[in-house]
A and B are shown apart, each in its own frame.
Chain A
C-alpha cells in the first residue's frame, strides 16, 4: 500500500546547528502534508503543515520544503536546541480535501541534540 517513509531513523546534531529531516512519500494524490514532533510519553505535536500547491512554508525556526516532482518533503530546524530532541514524523492526508482525514505516517526520525 501507499506509505510515507523517512530516509534516516536517527539524526544527531550539535546544539546551535541546523537540522534537516527528510521524508519521501509515494502517493502522488496526497495534497496535504504535516510534520509532527513526539516526545517520550506524549502524543504527536503539530509543528508545521504545507499544501501541495506550495513548495515552501516557514514557521518559527522551522521550514518545510515540498518537492512534488520527486515526492520529497523535508523539515529544517534552525539553531537546534536540546528541547528539539524528539522523534519527528511526516504525515500525508491521502483522502483529499473533501473526502475526510486519514493521515499516513512515516516511520519517524529520532533527533538527538548534543549540548
Chain B
C-alpha cells in the first residue's frame, strides 16, 4: 500500500512569488492535514481537510490556503512568499478526522525562499 505522496520534494522560490504544493493521501484515507516544520518553531498545524471542506485551521496568515479534491488529494498554496516561509511542509492523512486514528505523514516538500 503506497504511503502519503508529496510533490515536489524540493522547491526554490523568491520573495513575493506564490507556490502550490500537492499531496496524495494513502488510498482510502479521506482526511488530510498540513503541517509546517522549521528549526525554530518545530511542527505546527496549518489546516485539515475532509470531504473537500476545511475543518480546522491553525494560526497562520491568510496567505496560507488549501483545498481538497473529490478524490481526497489536497493542495496547499502560499501567496506572496516571505523569507520566513522557508520550511519543510508536511502532509498527513488518516481515515477520518477526529477518529483517534494515527495520521501518517509524507516525506514533505522542502521550500526555500531566496
Listed in ascending order, the chain A residues whose CB lies under 8 Å from chain B are 31-32, 34, 36, 41-46, 49, 51, 89, 91, 93, 95-108
Contacts and interface: CB of A to CB of B under 8 A. Distances in A.
B70 interface: no
A41 B54 CA distance: 28
Interface in B84-111: 90, 92, 94, 97-100, 102-108
A80 B31 CA distance: 34
Contacts, number: 71
Please list the 7 inter-chain residue pairs (A to B) with the smallest Cβ-Cβ separation, ordered nearest first: A43-B105, A105-B43, A32-B100, A100-B97, A100-B56, A43-B107, A100-B55
Interface of B: 4, 31, 33, 35, 42-45, 48, 50, 55-56, 58, 90, 92, 94, 97-100, 102-108
A43 B100 contact: no
Q: Label chain A's interface by main secondary structure.
A: loop
B33 A101 contact: yes
Given A44-B105, A46-B104, A97 B99 contact: yes
B56 A102 contact: yes
Contacts of B35: 103
B3 to A, nearest CB: 9
Given A32-B100, A43-B107, A51-B100, A105 B31 contact: no
Contact of A34 (B45, B98, B99, B102): B102
Contacts of A93: 98, 100
Contacts of A31: 100
Nearest to A95: B98
Nearest to A89: B43
Nearest to A107: B42
B102 A49 contact: yes
